[in-house]
């Protein structure tokens, strides 16, 4: 799975610098053949880890049912609902915890929480399932974050690291397969599963569920709030037109900004 991806070796304790040869970063005190061999071993280890761990995904949180019930009330004290905080904590620990890739895992968690809240608000306005949109939003990056967890473990073990572009490529390439497996392993409802697996198809010729459409639009709001530099000009206008959302509805959804930030802080 990782064949041909650019790698850099992490400097060992006491080394002063790293040097680049082609796409490979390595300790200049190490012989070149050693670096090449480590790179090849790393790539084989990453492929083996993916093959093994995709068959052994984390189990569904015991409090998942409580979260589905609490999600119906996302705009009125989600964390005060029985089991909601525990479920969110378990989901984060099982899917969004990647030692060695902590910053990336935290960014994905924040985006997922924000997407969930905004998607729930869109679903409410569109008379779709608020609970399905919320849970789908929370898990919409689950496949990619599982891939990140696998990658981080191998990187720590072999003291080598994919560059940022290759990391995103590897996680994206393997994320859908892992998401499909997670939907089955966790026994997610058809509505939630359709959100997790189908939200990217919004705007294409394939028809998506109302909850998936709400998730797609909710993610746009999450990106606008958390990473405005990545907003695509005109994306909101196009999506709003396709969903039939008026200007006052957009204002109502943006009104969740404070709630999203409070929820992220409370869960951190």
Domains of the chain, earliest start first: 60-267 (1.10.3210.10)
**How much is the pLDDT for 54?**
80
Average pLDDT over residues 34-60: 81
Q: Which residues pair with 222 in a beta bridge?
A: none
pLDDT digits (tens, 9 = 90+) for 204-256: 756 788 999 999 999 999 999 999 888 877 777 777 777 788 888 888 898 99
Contact 201, 212 (CB under 8 A): yes
Q: How many percent of the chain have pLDDT more than 90?
A: 51
At 7, is the pLDDT very low, low, confident or very high (cuts 50, 70, 90)?
low
**How much is the pLDDT for 15?**
43
d(CA 98, CA 58): 13
Average pLDDT over residues 105-117: 97
Instruction: Look at 8-22, 125-139, 249-263 and tell me which has the smallest mean pLDDT.
Output: 8-22
For the cut 90, the answer to whether the pLDDT of residue 2 exceeds it is: no
At 49, is the pLDDT very low, low, confident or very high (cuts 50, 70, 90)?
confident
Contact 113, 260 (CB under 8 A): yes
Contact 186, 167 (CB under 8 A): no
For the cut 70, the answer to whether the pLDDT of residue 179 exceeds it is: yes
Mean pLDDT of the chain: 84
Phi, psi angle pair for 74, to nearest 5°: -60, -30
In terms of residues, how long is the chain? 268
For the cut 60, the answer to whether the pLDDT of residue 98 exceeds it is: yes
**How much is the pLDDT for 205?**
53
d(CA 74, CA 218): 14
Report the 10 Å Cβ neighbour count for 228: 8
d(CA 254, CA 117): 11
**How much is the pLDDT for 162?**
87
**How much is the pLDDT for 17?**
41
d(CA 238, CA 261): 26
At 25, is the pLDDT very low, low, confident or very high (cuts 50, 70, 90)?
very low
Give the contacts of 38 (CB within 8 A, at least 6 positions apart). 9, 158, 160
**Given CA atoms 220, 224, 230, 233 in this order, what sign does their dihedral have?**
positive
The more confidently predicted of residues 226 and 28 is 226
Strand 24-26, strand 19-21: pairing: antiparallel
Radius of gyration over every alpha carbon of the chain, rounded to an integer in angstroms: 20
d(CA 66, CA 71): 9
**How much is the pLDDT for 18?**
42
**Among 118, 169, 119, 110, which Cα is nearest to 144's?**
169
At 139, is the pLDDT very low, low, confident or very high (cuts 50, 70, 90)?
very high
For the cut 50, the answer to whether the pLDDT of residue 31 exceeds it is: no
d(CA 172, CA 218): 20
């Amino acid at each position: 799975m990782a064949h041909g991806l650019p790698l850099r070796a992490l400097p060992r304790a006491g080394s002063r610098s790293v040097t680049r040869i082609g796409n490979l970063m390595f300790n200049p005190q190490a012989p070149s053949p050693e670096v090449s061999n480590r790179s090849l071993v790393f790539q084989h280890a990453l492929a083996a880890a993916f093959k093994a761990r995709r068959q052994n995904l984390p189990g569904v949180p015991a409090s998942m049912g409580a979260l589905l019930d609490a999600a119906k009330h996302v705009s009125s004290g989600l964390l005060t609902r029985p089991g909601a905080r525990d479920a969110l904590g378990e989901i984060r620990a099982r899917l969004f915890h990647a030692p060695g890739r902590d910053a990336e895992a935290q960014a994905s968690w924040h985006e997922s929480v924000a997407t969930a809240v905004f998607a729930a608000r869109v679903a409410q306005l569109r008379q779709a399932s608020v609970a399905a949109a919320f849970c789908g939003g929370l898990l919409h990056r689950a496949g990619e974050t599982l891939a990140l967890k696998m990658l981080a473990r191998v990187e720590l073990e072999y003291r080598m690291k994919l560059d940022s572009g290759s990391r995103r490529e590897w996680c994206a390439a393997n994320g859908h397969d892992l998401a499909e497996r997670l939907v089955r392993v966790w026994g997610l409802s058809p509505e939630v599963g359709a959100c997790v697996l189908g939200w990217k198809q919004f705007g294409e010729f394939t028809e998506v569920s109302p909850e998936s459409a709400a998730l797609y639009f909710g993610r746009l709001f999450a990106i606008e709030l958390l990473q405005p530099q990545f907003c695509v000009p005109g994306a909101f206008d196009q999506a709003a037109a396709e969903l039939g959302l008026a200007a006052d509805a957009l204002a109502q959804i943006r009104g969740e900004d404070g709630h999203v930030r409070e929820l992220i802080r409370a869960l951190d």
